[in-house]
Chain A
Amino acid sequence: MAEDTFLGDDFLRQLMSVGEVDLLVAIPTFNNAETVGQTIQAIEESYQQNFIRDRVVILNVDGGSTDKTPEIVCQSDGHRGTGRGITSLRTVHRVTSKYAESPSPAKALRTVVAAADLLRAKAGAVVSPNTVNLEASWIANLLRPAYRQDFDYVAPLYVRNKYQGLLARNLLYPMARAVFGRQIREVYSDEWAFSGRLAAECLAQNIWNDEAIRARPEAWMAITGIRSNMKCCQSFLGPKVAPAPGTGPDIVEAVRQTIGNLFRCLEIYQDDWLAIDGSQAVPTFGPDHEITSAPKPAGQEKVFDLFRSGVDGLKSVLPSILGPDTYTKIQDIASLEPAKFRFPMELWVTTLYEFAAAYHRTVIARDHIVQALVPIYRGSLYSFFLEHADSSPDQIEVDSEILCGEFERQKPYLVERWKAKS
């Protein structure tokens, strides 16, 4: 088996002692000693409350923690039996593996998927120890559709404030929806679930070392499920708490990781999406996602400054990526007064599609193309701040849907630019 080559002997021994399982929940960690105990507790409670007859395992994949995170995973008592007096009828196994000396999302996920395949797990979920409000119900909401209703990919739905996750709401979701034709909001997520079938499908592919896939392999797995016509759904979890300052990726890193990944997926699966027209809703379990109000974020003018100086600073780079009309329009809006600034929706979509096509044609180094999108995204972000300063969550929802429609309307333009490769 392929997994024999990258799984350590000790890890394989642990997996063999577990035998076959029905469910697996994985926690990728790196120096999460403070929060991992709480995550383990939520998983055990979920097993005890919802899957008492099933064979289950908790899998920790560690990226070289120096704060004894794996030891805490093994030692954590797990508060057995506290779940409303119900105790699991089976042993809740815990397995840990140090997959590398430094964190690597792709290596971590590949280890998880290989373990799920070896244990013949029917369903698996991945949760993040950084999610401080993880509850037992979240685990059950993720696992149930994959385990009991044969879904292959389960995406989370959250309650978010209106300024949270704007990269996902204004770019990743509408573009992935228009391209791949499925209305899944959170393809880039910390919590999600998969079936044994999807695990086996992804494990068989030799793309885990691809530079653009490595940083966000979970999105590639989701898109693999979509393009393979596997059953996909969304499941409501709860409020998404923003990570503590300095712990999550900043804008530049987030754009490089996610947009680079999305553009690469466009290329990998181009034979599947070029002919897709429109998009389909997927089944949703629990309430739909929710947007709440929030105070205006500070430092908005600085965001505009960075947009304007970025467009000016990249005048030797942007013309090789964008068409002449689009570049001229970007320059025009960059010269507007901050208070009058608007980034028209049509221009935003055209710009993104031209970036995607430039990535495909490799007009310059691909990572440079993705990085050149950062100032443009900042312009769109500032425009969102101005347009939605007083918007209600409902209004934002309506506008978000209009944006998705614009992405779908302009998709033929993307196809045209994409195929124009000489």
Chain B
Amino acid sequence: MKDMIVQGLQQAYQNMVRMLAEFLPRLVVMLVIILVGVLVAYGLKYLLRALLHLTKLDRLSEEAGASRMLRMAALPSMTEVLSRSVFWITVLGFVLIGISVLGVAGLQDQISRLLLLLPEIVVAIVILFLGLVIANFLSRAALLAAVNAGYASPTLLSWSIRFVIWILAISMALEELGVARQTVIAAFSIVFGALMLGLAIAFGLGGKDLARHFLERNLGDRKRGGTDEPQPL
């Protein structure tokens, strides 16, 4: 009986030692991978930050109104947001790879799925952010044109444009994630709206002055009733 217990304990001890002997190198490998990942992430962060400074992204972001939204959300500048995002995504990627090296049963499938989903999450976030920026810019442009033309409901027009672009951006982000595909299919019914939006953007960017004149002449005069403002120059 005593021998059996001792033998069992020895067996357990040997198993534990064997497992530790197998696990410790993997743990070291995982830690090395994570360490390398952090270094790579830092490198990418500084490289991206330098590139974005060169391309004056912050200036573009200010002009598009994106920086203002970031400030409202208590976030740093666009360059900082993007470079930090790249840092954390890289670190996360390396951590997941490191964990997979441990060989814990069942965990590897989940990690693989997460790794596969990671780029899609990033793309979805980018889509949402761009949608927010474009919606903000175009709705403000419409608001200013409508206000200066004396249009009766400028805020309604502005919010309508903002809302349509938000819907489009959210639908695109969900489709990217593969979530609620039914919703996306249903949202396909607003493709006409999306088409009109595309035309509006093309018209707005390609012929913004023409668009403004059109708004002022066709909508502005309705309320103004022929205001005879003196020649300003």
B is a partner of A: yes
Q: Among B64, B140, B216, B231, which residue has its beta carbon within 8 angstroms of that of A317?
A: B140
Interface size on B, residues (CB 8 A): 31
User: A13 to B224, alpha carbons, bound, how many Å?
Assistant: 52
Given contacts A299-B226, A375-B148, contact A242 B63 (CB under 8 A): no
Residues on the B chain within 8 Å of A255, using CB: 232
Residues on the B chain within 8 Å of A250, using CB: 216, 229, 232
Residues on the A chain within 8 Å of B189, using CB: none
Q: Among A243, A365, A378, which residue has its beta carbon within 8 angstroms of that of B231?
A: A243
Residues on the B chain within 8 Å of A365, using CB: 63-65, 137, 140-141
Interface size of A as a range: 35 or more
- Please tell me if the beta carbons of B59 and A168 are within 8 angstroms of each other in the complex: no
- Please tell me if the beta carbons of A302 and B141 are within 8 angstroms of each other in the complex: no
User: A326 to B76, alpha carbons, bound, how many Å?
Assistant: 28
- Asked if B225 CB lies within 8 Å of chain A CBs, one says yes
Residues on the B chain within 8 Å of A313, using CB: 143, 146-147, 154-155
Q: How far is the CB of B41 from chain A (nearest CB, A)?
A: 28
Interchain pairs with CB closer than 8 A, number: 101
Residues on the A chain within 8 Å of B155, using CB: 313
- Asked if B212 CB lies within 8 Å of chain A CBs, one says yes
Q: Using an 8 Å CB-CB cutoff, how does the interface string of B136-169 with A read, 1 for contact, 0 for none?
A: 0100110111111110001100000000000000
A258: nearest chain-B partner, CB-CB: B233
- Asked if A100 CB lies within 8 Å of chain B CBs, one says no
Q: Among B140, B149, B232, which residue has its beta carbon within 8 angstroms of that of A166?
A: B232
Q: How far is the CB of A250 from chain B (nearest CB, A)?
A: 7
Residues on the B chain within 8 Å of A374, using CB: 147-148
Given contacts A309-B150, A365-B64, contact A165 B231 (CB under 8 A): yes
Q: How far is the CB of B8 from chain A (nearest CB, A)?
A: 71
User: A372 to B154, alpha carbons, bound, how many Å?
Assistant: 13
- Please tell me if the beta carbons of B227 and A306 are within 8 angstroms of each other in the complex: yes
DSSP class of A's interface residues: helix, strand, loop or mixed? helix
Residues on the B chain within 8 Å of A249, using CB: 232-233
- Asked if B230 CB lies within 8 Å of chain A CBs, one says yes
User: A417 to B227, alpha carbons, bound, how many Å?
Assistant: 35
- Please tell me if the beta carbons of B227 and A164 are within 8 angstroms of each other in the complex: no
- Asked if B68 CB lies within 8 Å of chain A CBs, one says yes
- Asked if A17 CB lies within 8 Å of chain B CBs, one says no
Given contacts A165-B231, A306-B227, A374-B148, contact A314 B143 (CB under 8 A): yes
Q: Using an 8 Å CB-CB cutoff, how does the interface string of B109-141 with A read, 1 for contact, 0 for none?
A: 000000000000000000000000000010011
Q: Among A252, A298, A364, which residue has its beta carbon within 8 angstroms of that of B65?
A: A364
Q: Among B147, B228, B232, B233, which residue has its beta carbon within 8 angstroms of that of A309?
A: B147
Residues on the B chain within 8 Å of A163, using CB: 230
Q: How far is the CB of B214 from chain A (nearest CB, A)?
A: 13
| Residues of A that sit less than 8 Å from B by CB | 163-168, 188, 242-243, 248-252, 254-255, 258, 297-299, 302-303, 305-306, 309-310, 313-314, 316-317, 320, 361-366, 368, 371-372, 374-375, 378, 381
What are 5 residue pairs bridging A and B, where the CB atoms are less than 8 Å apart in the complex? A166-B230, A250-B232, A255-B232, A297-B229, A302-B227
The 3 closest A-B pairs by CB, nearest first: A167-B232, A302-B227, A313-B147
